[in-house]
């Protein structure tokens, strides 16, 4: 719900600022900064008022460790074999800043696999909606390898309408395969 995203931003904002200060002090090139460093979840909270939007999060040790926003109605598959079929679109997914590994400033993430757990939740949402596990997303450049190699999603190409980010999809067959492997 929107109030929870305000809490997320209140918890995460100071940690983001600290990471930014450390990156500046070490003279790390902005190209090497975590690409979600500028995100503000309080501004994303309004999206949850839309009927097609859902929010998911992980709380551990009484703190938000990761959050994800998904959409359903306005997105369909771009893959040739499934073109036009509904899917769950991951609009935003992020682990808490204290879970980031930032080698340039010697930071190790506290909890691992937060993004993976949230991704699995998107597959489950897709199944619950009757979309057979189909999931789509636009990847930040630093995460492209993870979606392509780690999750074996299909790259559909760069999207000039979305900051030229690479668009990925997980097909029904890919979702079934991933689910069988992780049972």
**In this predicted structure, what is the pLDDT of residue 118?**
97
How confident is the prediction along the chain (183 residues), in pLDDT tens digits per residue? Answer: 578 889 999 999 999 999 999 999 999 999 999 999 999 999 888 888 777 889 999 999 999 999 999 999 889 999 999 999 999 999 999 999 999 999 999 999 999 999 999 999 999 999 999 999 999 999 999 999 999 999 999 999 999 999 999 999 999 999 999 888 876
Q: At what angle do helices 114-128 and 172-181 cross, to 10 degrees?
A: 120
What spatial distance separates the first Cα and last Cα of the chain, rounded to whole Å?
A: 30
Q: Where are the beta strands (DSSP E) in the chain?
A: 53-60, 63-71, 88-95, 135-139, 154-159, 165-170
**In this predicted structure, what is the pLDDT of residue 152?**
92
Identify the residue whose tokens are 């789509």: 136
Instruction: Check if the beta carbon of residue 127 is closer than 8 Å to that of residue 172.
Output: no
Neighbours of 140 (CB within 10 A): 18
**In this predicted structure, what is the pLDDT of residue 49?**
76
Concatenate the DSSP letters of all residues of 44-86 into one string. HGGGGGSTTEEEEEEEETTEEEEEEEEE-TT-B--SGGGTT-B
- Alpha-carbon gap, residue 71 to 63, rounded angstroms: 25
- Alpha-carbon gap, residue 63 to 12, rounded angstroms: 10
**In this predicted structure, what is the pLDDT of residue 21?**
97
**In this predicted structure, what is the pLDDT of residue 2?**
72
**In this predicted structure, what is the pLDDT of residue 179?**
84
**In this predicted structure, what is the pLDDT of residue 183?**
67
């Amino acid at each position: 719900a929107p109030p929870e995203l305000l809490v997320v931003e209140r918890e995460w904002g100071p940690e983001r600022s600290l990471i930014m200060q450390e990156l500046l002090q070490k003279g790390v090139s902005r190209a090497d900064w975590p690409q979600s460093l500028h995100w503000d979840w309080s501004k994303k909270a309004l999206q949850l008022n839309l009927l097609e939007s859902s929010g998911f999060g992980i709380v551990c040790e009484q703190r938000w460790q990761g959050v994800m926003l998904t959409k359903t109605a306005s997105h369909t598959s771009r893959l040739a074999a499934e073109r036009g079929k509904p899917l769950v679109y991951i609009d935003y997914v992020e682990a808490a800043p204290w879970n980031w590994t930032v080698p340039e400033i010697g930071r190790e993430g506290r909890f691992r696999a937060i993004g993976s757990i949230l991704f699995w939740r998107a597959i489950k949402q897709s199944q619950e909606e009757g979309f057979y596990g189909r999931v789509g997303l636009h990847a930040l450049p630093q995460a492209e390898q993870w979606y392509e190699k780690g999750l074996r999603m299909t790259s559909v190409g760069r999207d000039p309408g979305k900051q030229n980010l690479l668009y990925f999809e997980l097909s029904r067959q890919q979702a079934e395969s991933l689910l069988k492997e992780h049972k």
